[in-house]
Structure 1
Amino acid sequence: MENFDWKFTIRVNIMILKIAGLWPKGTEIYKCNFYTLYSIISINLFINAPNFFQAANIVFVYTDLEALTALIFVTVTELLASFKVYCFVRNIAILKSLMVELDKKMFQPKNEQQKDLIRPNLNSWTLTYVVFWIPVISTLIMWAIFPVMDGSVKEYRLPFSAWYPFNTKTSPSYEITYFYQTVSVWFLAITNMNMDMFAAALMMYVGIQCDILCDDLRNLSTSADAEYNKKLLDCIQHHKTIVKFATHSNNFFSHVALGQFFVSSVALTLAMFQLTLVAPFSSECYSLLFYVFTMTVQIFLYCWFGNEVELKVGLDLVVKVAV
């Protein structure tokens, strides 16, 4: 039977990570080449530099509670994205090896019935990925246009409060900085989203392998005596490989998940406080609401897919005991 292409479901996810500079070609890791140079420039220009300029502005607004709150809840989110990028780049060799591991014979579905068994999990991830785009894009659009919507663009207000070593209250510095902030936040948010969805995909693959292992164990009783021992040993080896895959996946996103829960809690608290300070039904109000929804979905991803893995690992143990 033809090998099942596990990466087909997450192909768009990987393509965007590649555009962001986080996924070298094929099974390669970062080397001294053009793509590595591109990655360094894109990450520093569109993620690290905006974080620096916004964080530096805290020195100038720390006495203004409203301005400080508005600055911090966005800044901590962006700093978390920088941390995720660091973890992603640092663990790229592990992530590449996990993708290679998926293509091994042991992780392949054995028949059409097992393919039908795993498709709902793949479709669930795809649906989540599509739905996640809605609050992300909505938030980005509202952030990009709310100075125009509320007329503050006439006062040279930028989408995000930040310090720059030049005057942004004059043309064309204002327009260039406005464009730079908009492009940067789109780059950062979409990259951040796809890193989260990649972590969710790894958890999905662990759950799927548990489903395949459970199906193999259920069918052991129908095997001939000569095949029983061989298939049982294959199941044991499969289980060990799943545990190894899950351990390596956890090495990548355990710190990311901790940072996500901590930062999301802080950001949601500050965003809800900021909602009490803005005019109801204003463009800034809607941008905050979409932001709160986006942060909630980010937490949901790790909870939902992590819970699915725990349930399936528990089912796996029950089936093994029954067999």
Structure 2
Amino acid sequence: MLKIKQSLMNYFPSDPRKGQIGSIELNLWLAQIAGVSVMRLRQNSSDINIFIFIYTVIITILVTFVYTACEIYDLALNWYDLNILTQNSCISLTHLAGLAKIINALYKLKDIQKVLDKLKYGLKTYTISKEQRQTFLDGELENKLLLTIYVAIVATTGLLGMFVLFLNPVKMAGKTFPYRAVVPAWVPFPLQLLYMSLSVLIFAMQIVAIDYLNINLLNQLRYQLNILSLAFDKLSSEKEQEKCRANDSPIFGKHLRSLNAIIEHHCLLKEVCQDIESIFSVSILLQFFTSLIIFAMTGFQATVQSDASNEAILIYFYCGCISCELFLYCCFGDAVTEQVGNSLV
């Protein structure tokens, strides 16, 4: 466990004194690997940016749009078969919701950049004491660990699907969840298998990256609210110790400066809270709406599939991914709401 902790702290390091947020960098790196264009949010050399741009264009065209179109075409061809319709609707609805969230994030990339700038400024300016820095670093470790676990769960499901697909290619390819898609017949069958398996896995990683970016920003807000609370507690403690001093003493002036800093930090975090809500409120609503429908559909599939079949196992893993996603949203959304209620009222 100690080695895992050291690895998470060493890769994409965090330093509040420099405004360096390692978990955000890790999140954005994952988004770029998955083919989501977030170059504005990461500093890279011009050569790397050119490569990332070409890679992103290829992934966006072949996976994000073309493969989704193949799924929808299969849905249109088999609308009369309830079992096929249910299988296809589950994955198509997931990808359409993911596509909407990706487009929303890219459309509001400038707003996300402003939120990150405010968070970094808050860290550099108001994270002063050793206790505040440790609070932030502990939060960053938690953030990186959760992202790693979330990615591992989704990647395991995707890799298991690839294994099952290559194990039973004729039965699975284009015929069974989660690989119901009509790929043009002129594409060689081995290439169809590779295209289907990689598309589902890459799309899943794109959704993970965008979903966790929202959760990550919520957690960053929560950490800075904790830092704000520590600053206020310290001021209250010092005020109690020095309340017998005269109002014009140097200590009073120091307290006044601390109070002004707390108020400024409070106002900054209130802006960040409003910005995050304006950026992601629609996508979160869409996520919960589609998740309820997908849960109902996957539940139906689980009842019609044999318990020991490969299809049933993939369905259970898929439900686990959705459960993990909703748990993260609900858990940290509630934690931030509670912290906001305590700090920003």
TM-score interval w.r.t. the shorter chain?
Answer: 0.7 to 0.9
Q: Does the alignment pair 1:8 with 2:22? A: yes
Partner residue of 2:340?
313
1:196 Cα deviation from its structure 2 partner: 1.1
Tell me the TM-score normalised to structure 2 length.
Answer: 0.82
Partner residue of 2:71?
54
The one-letter amino acid paired with 1:93 is K
**CA–CA distance in structure 2, aligned partners of residues 53 and 27 of structure 1:** 32
Using a 3 Å threshold, how does the CA distance of structure 1 residues 12 and 118 change in structure 2: closer, same or farther? closer
1:148 Cα deviation from its structure 2 partner: 4.0
Using a 3 Å threshold, how does the CA distance of structure 1 residues 177 and 5 change in structure 2: closer, same or farther? same
Using a 3 Å threshold, how does the CA distance of structure 1 residues 143 and 300 change in structure 2: closer, same or farther? same
The one-letter amino acid paired with 2:335 is E
Q: Does the alignment pair 1:157 with 2:173? A: yes
Using a 3 Å threshold, how does the CA distance of structure 1 residues 248 and 317 change in structure 2: closer, same or farther? closer
Following superposition of structure 1 onto structure 2, how do residues 228-247 of structure 1 map, counting pairs within 5 Å? Answer: 228-247=255-274
The answer as to whether partners of 2:23 and 2:140 remain within 8 angstroms in 1 is yes
Gaps of 5+ in 1: 319-323
Deviations, residues 75-127 of structure 1 (Å, cap 9, x unaligned): 00011111111011101111122222222156541111112223332222222
Using a 3 Å threshold, how does the CA distance of structure 1 residues 250 and 266 change in structure 2: closer, same or farther? same
Q: 2:227 aligns with which of 212, 217, 222?
A: 212
Using a 3 Å threshold, how does the CA distance of structure 1 residues 41 and 154 change in structure 2: closer, same or farther? closer
**CA–CA distance in structure 2, aligned partners of residues 167 and 197 of structure 1:** 37
Using a 3 Å threshold, how does the CA distance of structure 1 residues 157 and 313 change in structure 2: closer, same or farther? closer
1:26 Cα deviation from its structure 2 partner: 5.2
Partner residue of 2:141?
123
Tell me the TM-score normalised to structure 1 length.
Answer: 0.88
The answer as to whether partners of 1:271 and 1:288 remain within 8 angstroms in 2 is yes
Following superposition of structure 1 onto structure 2, how do residues 161-310 of structure 1 map, counting pairs within 5 Å? Answer: 161-164=180-183, 166-167=184-185, 173-221=188-236, 222=238, 224-310=251-337
C-alpha RMSD over aligned residues: 2.5
**CA–CA distance in structure 1, aligned partners of residues 117 and 158 of structure 2:** 34
1:303 Cα deviation from its structure 2 partner: 0.8
Percent identical residues: 20
**Consecutive aligned runs of 4 or more in structure 1 exceeding 6 Å deviation:** none
Q: Please state whether the residue corresponding to 1:62 is helix, strand or coil.
A: coil
**CA–CA distance in structure 2, aligned partners of residues 156 and 265 of structure 1:** 26
1:173 Cα deviation from its structure 2 partner: 2.0
Partner residue of 2:57?
40
| Length, aligned pairs only | 310
The one-letter amino acid paired with 2:119 is L
Using a 3 Å threshold, how does the CA distance of structure 1 residues 299 and 107 change in structure 2: closer, same or farther? farther
Q: Please state whether the residue corresponding to 1:281 is helix, strand or coil.
A: coil
Q: Does the alignment pair 1:23 with 2:38? A: yes
**CA–CA distance in structure 1, aligned partners of residues 98 and 16 of structure 2:** 38
Deviations, residues 147-179 of structure 1 (Å, cap 9, x unaligned): 444x4x245733612224x327xxx62211111
The answer as to whether partners of 2:222 and 2:336 remain within 8 angstroms in 1 is yes
Using a 3 Å threshold, how does the CA distance of structure 1 residues 49 and 310 change in structure 2: closer, same or farther? same
Deviations, residues 198-249 of structure 1 (Å, cap 9, x unaligned): 1111001111111111111112231521122222122111111001111111
